[in-house]
Structure 1
Amino acid sequence: MAAHAVAAASVDVYPRIVATLIRVTGDWALAEDCAQEALTVALERWPADGVPANPGGWLMTVARNRAVDVLRRATVERRKLHDLALLTPADASEPQVGPDVVDDRLRLIFTCCHPALAMEARVALTLRTICAVPTSDIARLLLVSESTMTRRLTRARTRIAQAGIPYRVPSGPALTERLPGVLAVVYLLFTRGYAADGEPAFADEAVRLARLLDRLMPEQSEVAALLALVLFQHSRRHARRDAEGRLLTLDRQDRDRWDHAAIVEGRAALDRVRHDGVYAWQARIAACHATAADAGATDWPAIARAYDALNDLQPSPVIALNRAVAHGYAFGPAVGFALLDVARAGDGLNGNPLAVAVEADLVARQGDRRRAAALFREAAAMVGSAVERRALLDRAAELAPDRGRAG
C-alpha cells in the first residue's frame, strides 16, 4: 500500500514539487534532488507510519525543508529562504492546486522544450524533470551510457541557465510559435514508444504528458487534437501482437482487447478540436480506425479525404505513401498505384522499404500473389527492425506459402 502510494506520488506530485522549487530557487539540480529525497524518505517512513492524509503536501514539506537546509548551509540570499518557508502542504495537494502551481508545471514543460535546446536534450530533460524517469532508464531508452546521459542533462540545465532561457509560459504570438515545439516533443516520445520495436514507456509517458497539457491548456485546440491522436493509437497497444509476439495488422486485431475507455476519452478530446491542424487531421484518421465496428466498416473515403488535407497542409513522403494506401482502399488499387507513382516521383523514397511494402499490398489486392510476395520479401530485406522484417516476411509467406514461413 505504502509503496503504491509513493509510486503514484512520483507520477502526480513529483513534477509539481520540482516545478515549484525551481520557481523559488532557480536551481534545477537542487529542486530535483530535494523532490527525489522526499520520495526516498516516504519509502522509509510510510510503511511504518502509514500513508499521510495529504501525501502531496507531506512530500512538499519534506522537499521544502531539505531545500531550506541546503540553502542555509550555502548562505544563499534570504529571499529564497523566505519564499520556501511560505510553501505549505497545499502547494502539492491536487484538490487545492492554485493558479501559481499550475503555472509552475506549465512553465517547466515549456522550459524543458525550449527550441534553444537540441531535440534529444528536450526529450531527455522532459523525461527526467517532468516524468521523473530515472537517468539510467532514459540512457537505456536513448541508447547511450548512463554517464553520457548524466552529462547531457547537466549540459541542458547549464544551457538553460547560461542562455537565460526564461522560466515562463509565452503568451500571445510567442505561445503560438512555441506550442508546436512542445507538442512535437510529446509526439516524438509517443512515436518512439509506439514503433514496432519501440519502448512502451515512451508511449505511456507521452500519453500522460498529453493529458497534463490538455488539463493545463484546455483552450488550445491542437493540444486536444494531439491528446485524441495518442489515445486512439495507444488504445490498440494490447492487441498489436499475437501470442508469439508477431505484429498484427488492424484487420487482424482482436478489437475486444482495445482500450475502449481510451477511445471514448479520445473521442471527447476530438470533439473539442476547432481547427484543422496537423494533429487534428491525424486524430480524425485514427478515429476512423478506432471507432469502426470491424475492419470492413472502416470509412476509407473519409480517411482518404483526411490524407488529402494532410498532404496539402504538411506534405511529406510518408504522408504521400499513406495517402496512396488510403485511396487504394477507398477507390481501388489502380487509384492507389497512381498516387504511389506521384509519391515516388518526389525525393525521399529511393530505397524506402515502406514504399515497396505499399506496392506489395496494392499488387496483392490486384490478385498477383507471387509478385506481391516477392515485393514483401524485398521490403523485408531493406528494413532495420527485426520485428518489422518478420511481419513483412510473414505477409510474403501467406501469399506464397511454398517459400516457407518466416521464423
Structure 2
Amino acid sequence: MLISVQPHLRFGGAERQTVLLANALQRRGNRTAVVLHEKVGGLLPELHPDVPVEELGLDNHLLTPVVARRLRSMLDRRFRDGEKSMVSLHLWGSVLAGALAERRRDDDFTFVYYEDLDPSEHARFIRLGGLKQRLVRRVYRRSDVVVANTERVADAMVRVYGLERRPRVISPAVDLLALRAAAEARAPAAERVRPLKVVTVGSLVPLKGLDVVYAGLLASGLECEWHVVGEGSLGGWLDSLPTDGPVVVRAHGGTPRPYELVRDADLLVHGSHSEALGLVLLEAIGVGVPVVSAAALGPAELAATLGDRPEILSLFPVGQADALAVLLKERAAELDETPSLDEMQRHIARFSIEATADAWTELADEHGCSL
C-alpha cells in the first residue's frame, strides 16, 4: 500500500498531485490511502471513492511531536496488515512529523521523504521558514529514502541540505485524458476579439507574485480580463483593484478543477517567485492554452526538458514586471500560431500521471513494499 501523508487537501499543487496519484494507482487495482493532519479541503471529493482517508485531527507545527504520536498510532492501528507498505510524507509539516514517527528496522513500513518545494527559495516566504528548514535538513540527511519532485530540486537539496546522496527524482504529473476531455468540452471557439483573456491559478499569497502579474499586465498596455483562480490572504487586495481600467479583474476563488476555467483563456500567466515544478503550467498546456511564466526553478526545468517552444511555454525573469509586459505583447500578437491540442499534449506526454505511477510502483518494489 502507498500511504500518502500531508497536512490537508486544500487547493494546491502538492495536494492535487496526491489526489491524481492515488486515483491513478487505485484505477490500476493497487492499494492506496491518504492520511491528513486535518480532513479538510476542496480536493477531498476528487479522491476515488475507494481510497480511504484518515485524519490525525491536528495540524499545528508547534505540536509536531503530538502529530507524530498520532501518526505512528494510526499506522500501527490501521495499516499494519502483514504486508510492507510505503509511507510517503509531503510538505515540511508532515516530513517533520514522519521523522519522529519513523522507527528504525521497521519491517512493516518504509518511510519516503518527498520534497515538493524549492529549498533554495521557499523558506523566506513562510513563517519561521528558516527554523523549519534547519529541522528538515536534519531529517533528509539521516533518512534512507529521500525523493525530489524535479531534477533541479534534487540538485538544490544536495547544495542546501548538504546531502551525501542525490535524491531520486519522481516528477509530479497530470491526467492527460481528463485534460483532453475538459478541452474538448469547451464551447466552440469564436473569432478572437479583444479584450485578451488571461488566467492565473494559485494561492493568493505573496509567494505567487500576483502583484508582478498585475503590474506586467498594466505595463503591457493590453486591454484584458485577468481571471484569478485561488484562495488566500491577498483576496482583499485582489477585490480592491480597479474594475474599470484596461485590466479588468475577475476573481473565481478556489476550485478542484482549475483547468476547466483555464481552458477558455488565451494565456495562462504564472508569476511565482518560488516554484518547484508548476502543475498548473502543465494543466494549461494540456487543455491547449499557452503559458507565460516567471523563470522560477520548476518552470525553468520544464522549459529546458520540453525544449524551446515559446508558442507553448515562454519565460520571463522572476519578479520583473517590465519583462513580463514585453513578453505579453509578443505572445498576444502570435496567439494564432498556438499549436493544436494534440501537439500540445504530445509536448508534455512525459509528464503523464501514468508514468509517475510507474515510478512509485518501481520504488515500492525496490523496498519490498506491496502496492
* TM-score (structure 2 length as normaliser): 0.26
Bigger CA radius of gyration: 1
Larger strand share, 1 or 2: 2
Q: Taking CA–CA contacts closer than 8 Å with sequence separation of 6 or more, which of the two structures ends up with the larger relative contact order?
A: 2
* TM-score (structure 1 length as normaliser): 0.24
Larger helix share, 1 or 2: 1
